[in-house]
């Protein structure tokens, strides 16, 4: 069999068909290429092998086109989010900071958040949040501050956090999709949709030293577990 024919067969075969061809080759002593030819010929049935190969080639082309379109759409969304992250924050915008801590990690969770309005409004959040890991703590802190923002007359909200895992998971989803955080990501997405009805919302990453108030509030919540100060975990 010519190498190009074998490549065509291999490209068209499903995983189950390739596995069947390997079993057939081992059982009958024929080469894997011939075994694959036989398996696909049987799968083709009355339509014939050529028609099966042509049909599957069309399906592959269609799937490649869809993937390319999804990738372009994702890149366009990413470009918009990056532009929003670099845009200056207008004076009328509300600002929020969030942070979550696990002590140990995984362990007891504390969340902290700060929501500030353009006219001096200030809302602090500091509370225990059960048990889990640091990623869950960060997400729960973000959820808490977004829930606090829902009833407020906000026309624009900029949210800052020092967790690249969470910021990227929200901004780039579904391209990133951190494992184990799917439920939290869905809750944040729902809250962002609700808030977007009233105005623009964007999430921006900041280094830890620029997230001090939210960190202080999360550590305050951690300390409340045992009634003494607890240092920031690494």
pLDDT tens track of the chain, all 234 residues? Answer: 666 777 889 999 999 999 999 999 999 999 888 999 999 999 999 999 999 999 999 999 999 999 999 888 777 777 766 666 677 888 899 999 999 999 999 999 999 999 999 999 999 999 999 999 999 999 999 999 999 999 999 999 999 999 999 998 998 765 556 788 999 999 999 999 999 877 789 999 999 999 999 999 999 999 998 765 444 444
Residue 173 shares a structural domain with residue 70? no
Residue 55 shares a structural domain with residue 114? no
DSSP 8-state code for residue 104: T
The domain that contains 148 carries what CATH number?
3.30.420.10
Note whether residue 234 is domain-resident.
no
Residue 77 shares a structural domain with residue 164? no
Pairing of strands 122-132, 107-116: antiparallel
Residue 54 shares a structural domain with residue 103? no
For the full predicted model, state whether its pTM sits above 0.85.
Answer: no
State the CB neighbour count (10 A cutoff) for residue 181.
21
Residue 74 shares a structural domain with residue 102? no
Residue 39 shares a structural domain with residue 73? yes
Cα end-to-end distance, the chain, whole Å: 59
Could you list the residue range(s) of the whole structural domain that residue 48 is in?
3-82
Burial of 196 (0-12, 13-18, 19+ CB in 10 A): exposed
d(CA 208, CA 220): 16
Number of domains composing the chain: 2
Residue 155 shares a structural domain with residue 135? yes
Note whether residue 232 is domain-resident.
no
Scanning the chain, the segments in alpha helix (DSSP H) are 3-12, 15-28, 32-44, 49-86, 134-149, 164-172, 182-196, 212-226
Residue 74 shares a structural domain with residue 122? no
Residue 172 shares a structural domain with residue 56? no
- Residue 146 contacts residue 160 (beta carbons within 8 Å): no
d(CA 24, CA 20): 6
């Amino acid at each position: 069999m010519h190498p190009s024919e074998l490549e065509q067969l291999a490209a068209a075969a499903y995983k189950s068909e390739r596995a069947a061809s390997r079993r057939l080759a081992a059982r009958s002593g024929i080469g894997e290429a011939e075994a694959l030819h036989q398996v696909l010929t049987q799968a083709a049935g009355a339509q014939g092998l050529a028609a099966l190969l042509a049909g599957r080639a069309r399906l592959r082309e269609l799937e490649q086109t869809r993937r390319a379109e999804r990738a372009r759409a994702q890149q366009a969304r990413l470009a918009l989010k990056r532009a929003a992250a670099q845009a200056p924050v207008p004076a009328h915008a509300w600002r929020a900071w969030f942070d979550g801590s696990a002590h140990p990690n995984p362990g007891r969770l504390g969340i902290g958040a700060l929501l500030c309005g353009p006219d001096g409004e200030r809302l602090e959040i500091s509370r225990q949040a059960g048990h889990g890991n640091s990623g869950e703590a960060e997400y729960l802190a973000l959820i808490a501050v977004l829930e606090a923002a829902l009833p407020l007359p906000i026309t624009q909200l900029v949210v800052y956090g020092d967790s690249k895992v969470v910021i990227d998971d929200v901004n780039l989803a579904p391209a990133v999709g951190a494992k184990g955080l799917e439920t939290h990501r869905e809750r944040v997405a729902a809250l962002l949709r609700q808030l977007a009805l009233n105005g623009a919302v964007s999430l921006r990453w900041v280094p830890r030293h620029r997230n001090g108030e939210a960190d202080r509030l999360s550590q305050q919540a951690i300390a409340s577990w045992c009634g003494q100060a607890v240092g920031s975990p690494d």
